[in-house]
């Protein structure tokens, strides 16, 4: 999503403290906490159900993490709210790097905004962004929809009004003729649905589910026309096919699938996956913990497997991470100025 110039953040500063923090680490000495990290079992809260399309990431990442860690790693699955419930699981836990959660963007920012706020952004310390996956629009193999243009024609044929202009307040109304399912509310799927509705001039009803698999089931049983998942080689469910990807250009994992831009629609959205820990740790400890996970991501087999399956690995230096989070937050704020994701 393009960021609007000179945008101001509602109620929060950006991340100057983070940037200053990371710049302070040209070299750091190991503290007792991080000497030999991890020194305790690692607990990882994750937003993906076992059959979720995003679980492909865990299938690749977890074995590498377990191999690198001298201590055991346990998972706690908490799907819902686009990753918000998984993050909330580590609130109040010790800030020692052993209680972690998968952080997903853009929902990390969206779940912290009233009136449906789950937490404050300052409750967490982001450690690393691991990978990116563009959003993708999926339907069943049996569906008569062959393209995004077919989808737009279907939505317009169901409208009772001849007025094709879509008021801002009616982009995702409850009575919309086209139904899109996705994983979680205030998630990349809902962002993509808003972008598609505005760009195509159609009305879409968005239905949130606990996983992309549940969203795909809604398409199968006729409760939804389409679902938003990820542009990965593995579909949300067997028997699904992609109509378009929300990326700047075609993705290697789905080379035959056009981008929305190829159909003349500006729809660019996706999922960034990272790791976060509770806030409050000593900056030196945070730097050492982040370095451990950077080494995990650097494993050649993991990098190749992520790329092969459709993820773009993102190895960001500490300074680059702060700038990346600032940029993503600016993009989301600019998006919220134009799209009515939250009640006004």
Fold of the CATH domain 135-263: D-Maltodextrin-Binding Protein; domain 2 (3.40.190)
DSSP 8-state assignment for residue 256: T
Residues of the chain with pLDDT under 50: 1-34, 167-170
Calculate the CA 245 to chain-centre distance.
Answer: 15
Could you check whether 16-133+270-338 and 135-263 share the same CATH topology?
yes
Looking at the DSSP assignment, which residues form a beta bridge with residue 136? 229, 245
Token digits for 27?
Answer: 């070299």
Token digits for 116?
Answer: 């449906």
Domain boundaries, the chain: 16-133+270-338, 135-263
Cβ neighbours of 204 (radius 10 Å) = 24
Respond yes or no on whether the N-terminal peptide bond of residue 106 is cis (omega within 30° of 0).
Answer: yes
Calculate the CA 323 to chain-centre distance.
Answer: 18
Q: Which pLDDT value is given to residue 10?
A: 36
Q: Which pLDDT value is given to residue 168?
A: 45
Rounded to 5°, angle at Cα 110 from 108 and 111 = 70
Fold of the CATH domain 16-133+270-338: D-Maltodextrin-Binding Protein; domain 2 (3.40.190)
pLDDT digits (tens, 9 = 90+) for 54-95: 999 999 999 999 999 999 999 999 998 888 999 999 999 999
Token digits for 249?
Answer: 């250009």
Paired sense of beta strands 42-46 and 99-105, if any:
parallel
Q: Which pLDDT value is given to residue 47?
A: 94
Report whether 131 contacts 102 (CB < 8 A).
Answer: no
Helix or strand or coil: residue 22?
Answer: helix
Q: Which pLDDT value is given to residue 278?
A: 97
Helix or strand or coil: residue 331?
Answer: helix
- Rounded CA separation 7/331 (Å): 9
Q: Which pLDDT value is given to residue 172?
A: 57
- Rounded CA separation 296/292 (Å): 7
To the nearest 10°, the Cα dihedral for 243, 247, 252, 258? 30
Its pTM stands at: 0.85
DSSP per position, 147-167: SHHHHHHHHHHH-SSS-----
């Amino acid at each position: 999503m393009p960021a609007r110039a000179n945008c101001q953040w509602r109620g929060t500063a950006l991340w100057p403290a983070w940037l200053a923090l990371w710049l302070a680490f040209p070299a750091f000495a190991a503290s007792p906490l991080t000497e030999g990290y991890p020194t305790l079992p690692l607990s990882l809260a994750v937003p993906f159900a076992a059959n979720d399309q995003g679980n492909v990431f865990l299938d690749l990442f977890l074995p590498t993490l377990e191999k690198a860690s001298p201590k055991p790693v346990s998972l706690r699955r908490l799907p819902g709210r686009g990753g918000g419930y998984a993050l909330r699981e580590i609130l109040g836990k010790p800030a020692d790097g052993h209680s972690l959660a998968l952080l997903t963007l853009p929902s990390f920012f969206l779940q912290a905004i009233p009136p449906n706020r789950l937490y404050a952004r300052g409750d967490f310390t982001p450690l690393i962004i691991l990978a990116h996956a563009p959003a993708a629009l999926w339907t069943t193999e049996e569906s008569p929809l062959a393209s995004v243009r077919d989808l737009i024609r279907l939505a317009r044929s169901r409208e009772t009004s001849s007025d094709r202009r879509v008021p801002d307040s009616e982009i995702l109304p409850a009575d919309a003729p086209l139904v899109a399912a996705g994983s979680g509310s205030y998630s990349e799927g809902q962002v993509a649905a808003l972008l598609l509705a505005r760009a195509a001039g159609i009305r879409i009803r968005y239905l949130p589910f606990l996983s992309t698999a549940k969203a795909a089931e809604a398409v199968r049983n006729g409760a939804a026309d389409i679902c938003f998942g990820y542009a990965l080689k593995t579909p949300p469910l067997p028997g699904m096919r992609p109509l378009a990807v929300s990326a700047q250009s075609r993705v290697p994992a789905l080379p035959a699938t056009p981008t929305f831009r190829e159909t003349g629609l500006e729809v660019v959205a996706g999922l960034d996956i990272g790791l976060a820990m509770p806030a409050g740790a000593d900056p030196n400890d945070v730097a050492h913990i982040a370095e451990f996970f950077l080494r995990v991501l650097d494993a050649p087999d993991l990098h190749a497997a992520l790329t092969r399956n459709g993820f773009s690995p993102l190895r960001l230096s500490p300074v680059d991470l702060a700038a990346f989070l600032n940029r993503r937050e600016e993009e989301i704020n600019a998006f919220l100025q134009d799209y009515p994701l939250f009640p006004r």
